Structure 1
Amino acid sequence: MILVTGGAGFIGSHTVRALHGLGEASVVVQRGTGQVPAHLADLPVIAEQADVADLGALRGIGARHRITGIVHLAGYPAPRGTVGGIGATQGLLYGLLNVARVAQEWGVRRVGLASTLGVYSGVETDAPLTEDLPVRLTAPHPIPRSKKIAELLGEQFAEATGVEFVNFRISGTWGPLGHEDPFFAAPALVHAAASGQPLDLSGLLAQPRLGDGLDLCYVKDTGRAIALLQLADNLRHRTYNIASGQVTENADVIAAIRRTVPDAGLELPAGTSRPGAALDITRLHQDTGFEPEYDTTRAAADYIAWLTAGNPR
């Protein structure tokens, strides 16, 4: 049975569903409630209410269930400001420390840690980004900064506990249960097309352009890749890119959306402010057999169908 922290969330819920598809049951940890979320109610999922920063609560879960692996996806709000920032950072660190501690106590074989493509920020290469590229010690945003810290701590915990800690460097992920991400435009474009409302890009950190690109991975593929890595008999590496392996531009996303919603009013300025880079997924493919199942057209159609069925996100 796999403990999935943040298992009711965006990527977490799709990971739980993928684990079920591979024959593995999950215990979903949520801070707010011990009820199984409605979008997972069709699965034999166990839900537990706990904050990963509370060691006693985590230990209680292990007393009630036989946990054989952990996928640690839970996070805290990105640390910003002064007092709030310290509190968020403390929650992140305590949560990670507690996960490592219970993993050792329970004799867990593998802990998967969510990381991000943002750790590659500032790396200059014309080739796809591979996991062995040297990354910069700094980061321009709290999320990749905290993920770099967690990757290093995971290495330390693996050495200290004998438990396998594996980093999942997750690319730009979009799809059902997601949100309008501040880093890329695809979710906002889909929401506008599905709702028929004007395109709202106010939540993005920068004005997107048609030629801006990113390695986009549909969330169902992301969840399946995480599940495959978590359950693999043998992994030869400590870090894996989870991605589509190719760059998708905003123009590609708009073209895919218009195959489902031909009259979608999705206008972006021409040009490129961020060309984007693909993540190399050779390791992932070799060790798990993973291949993306959703190209941009299929992903857009699936996401639009989900939203037009009445789901808010």
Structure 2
Amino acid sequence: MAVLVTGGAGYIGSHTVAALRERGEEIIIVDNMQQGHQEALLAGKLYKGDLRDSDFMDVVFGENRIDAVIHFAANSLVGESMKEPGKYYHNNVYGTLCLLEKMKQYNVGSIVFSSTAATYGEPENVPIDEYDRTLPTNAYGETKLAMEKMMKWYDVAHGIKYISLRYFNAAGAHESGAIGEDHSPETHLIPIVLEAALGKRPHISVFGEDYDTPDGTCIRDYIHVSDLADAHVLAVERLRGGADSSVYNLGNGKGFSVKEVIDIARSVTGRDIPAVMEPRRAGDPAVLVASSERARKELGWSPSRNTLEQIIASAWQWHSAHPEGYRK
């Protein structure tokens, strides 16, 4: 039996494909290549196409014996989602509806969903746990929450079991150095800091240094992408074992500040990384950190690459060897 990975040529998807390969899984990948890179795939059978294309998805399910799905395919830029909410609802929500309908049609009963801690909105508690309210503050988070709710009702009506994994910031690169993070445009802090280290940016902007945190800058949760990939594989195994549907946070439990990220990047790279202080951005909470105690207990997830030095060093290995990303 095979695992279908939607969005598998993307950043987290490709690392999950690598993790599945290490476990000897048969892997089927669907990606429309909007943000994916074929060069990032270390294994698997790739189908280039869109979840919303019914005939295309009939080919994917018809040609393969799929028993589980890991669903990454989605647009994920917060700022863009606020300008083009229709694009996010059509691709994220309608795309997931099409996927669930195909799973129902072909009797595939398990899906692991790459969600986001943006479903919580402004945190009630730090660290955030799974029982906190969900009140997204942007269209991206709202579509992810809608996707989760849709899965709940497909479970009620059709018995399709799901595990939703909520997390903030994936970072780092595969230990082989073969795959890493390459977005266009790039919006994530660690690769932007490393672009400054490479001289591709004149400086890194720090938005606000007067927050109620130890050094005045925002604190965020960073998890090594390979640890995230492992969590998705563990979730597949849990569903295969007959577990009920569930939601899990994935986090490091404490978080790192913007200044900490920059300082450790300077140490890891040995480069001067100029930082320019800018005014706060609207809507940036001081601290966003998720608790992963439930995932550790029930999934058996134990991240092994959880120091900021490890995360940034692995990212630097990839970015310094691929300064233009996957582009030749």
TM-score, normalised via structure 2 length: 0.82
- Out of 159, 163, 172, the position equivalent to 1:162 is 159
CA distance in 1, matches of 2:203, 2:159: 50
Find the counterpart in structure 2 of residue 262 from structure 1.
Answer: 270
Which amino acid is 2:109 matched to? R
Deviations 1:131-155 (A, max 9, x none): 111222xx32211011111111111
Distance 1:154 1:300, change over 3 A: same
Distance 1:102 1:221, change over 3 A: same
Distance 1:88 1:251, change over 3 A: closer
Which secondary structure state, in structure 1, belongs to the residue aligned with residue 163 of structure 2? strand
Gapped regions of structure 2 (runs ≥ 5): 173-179, 210-214
User: Does the 8 Å contact 2:11/2:182 carry over to 1?
Assistant: yes
Q: Percent identity?
A: 21
- Structure 1 residue 87: Cα displacement: 4.8
- Out of 206, 214, 219, the position equivalent to 1:213 is 219
Deviations 1:84-143 (A, max 9, x none): 643542333331112111212222231112211111112322x4111111222xx32211
Which amino acid is 2:24 matched to? G
Mapped pair 1:240 → 2:252: no
1:1-313 paired onto structure 2 within 5 Å: 1-32=2-33, 37-40=38-41, 42-43=42-43, 45-76=44-75, 79=81, 81=83, 85-125=85-125, 127-136=126-135, 139-175=136-172, 176-179=180-183, 182=187, 185-195=189-199, 197-201=201-205, 207-209=207-209, 211-232=217-238, 233-235=241-243, 238-269=246-277, 274-294=285-305, 295-313=307-325
Distance 1:248 1:65, change over 3 A: same
TM-score, normalised via structure 1 length: 0.86
CA distance in 2, matches of 1:32, 1:49: 7
CA distance in 2, matches of 1:222, 1:118: 16
Which amino acid is 2:226 matched to? K
Aligned residue pair count: 300
CA distance in 2, matches of 1:107, 1:130: 32
CA distance in 2, matches of 1:230, 1:195: 41
User: Does the 8 Å contact 1:188/1:200 carry over to 2?
Assistant: yes
User: Does the 8 Å contact 1:119/1:148 carry over to 2?
Assistant: yes
- Structure 1 residue 49: Cα displacement: 1.7
Distance 1:296 1:268, change over 3 A: farther
Distance 1:120 1:208, change over 3 A: same
CA distance in 2, matches of 1:36, 1:261: 26
CA distance in 1, matches of 2:237, 2:198: 36
CA distance in 1, matches of 2:203, 2:37: 34
Question: Alpha carbon RMSD of aligned pairs, Å?
Answer: 2.7
User: Does the 8 Å contact 2:207/2:279 carry over to 1?
Assistant: no
CA distance in 2, matches of 1:196, 1:260: 17
User: Does the 8 Å contact 1:236/1:287 carry over to 2?
Assistant: no
User: Does the 8 Å contact 1:154/1:166 carry over to 2?
Assistant: no
User: Does the 8 Å contact 1:2/1:24 carry over to 2?
Assistant: yes
Which amino acid is 1:16 matched to? V
Which amino acid is 1:158 matched to? D
Gapped regions of structure 1 (runs ≥ 5): none
Which amino acid is 2:51 matched to? V
Which amino acid is 1:48 matched to? Y
Distance 1:105 1:244, change over 3 A: same
